[in-house]
Amino acid sequence: MPVFDPQYDAPALRARLEQAQGMVIACYCAAWCDTCTQYRPGFDALAQQWPQHTFVWVDIEESPELLDDEDVENFPTVLIQSARGNLFYGTLLPYISHLERLISHMDDATPVVDSGPALLQTLLMPAAQ
């Protein structure tokens, strides 16, 4: 499964979010960030490993509306959502193995957290109108 970039793939991302059953895993980054550039190939590989989930690469300068009222101070900042809400929102060390381990431990018993943006599907809705 490809990694969606809302700057270029908003219609495809909206369609995917409407029918997807898995989690949404978003990485908030910036084009100028060398750490993000190095992190991206591993993020792409995880998208191939877990096609049931929706992976989204959000450039915070190009798509700031997808942060809702949140700020990103360090990279990579990751958001993991289920239909129930946010399961994780925060900065990770830039080792893809940390994200891989986090995803592998998420399930229906994972508690929802209070932090992070609203559901990405909701945040993308104004762009569809």
Burial (CB count <10 Å: 0-12, 13-18, 19+), residue 70: middle
Q: What pLDDT sits at residue 95?
A: 96
> What are the residue ranges spanned by the domains of the chain?
6-128
| Closest among 24, 116, 119, 120 to 70, alpha carbons compared | 116
Each residue's pLDDT tens digit, 4-51: 999 998 999 999 999 878 999 999 999 999 999 999 999 999 999 999
Each residue's pLDDT tens digit, 66-106: 998 898 989 999 999 999 999 999 999 999 999 999 999 99
126 pLDDT above the threshold of 60: no
pTM of the predicted model, to two decimals?
0.93
Each residue's pLDDT tens digit, 38-62: 999 999 999 999 999 999 999 999 9
| Closest among 105, 118, 103 to 42, alpha carbons compared | 103
In this structure, CATH architecture of domain 6-128 = 3-Layer(aba) Sandwich (3.40)
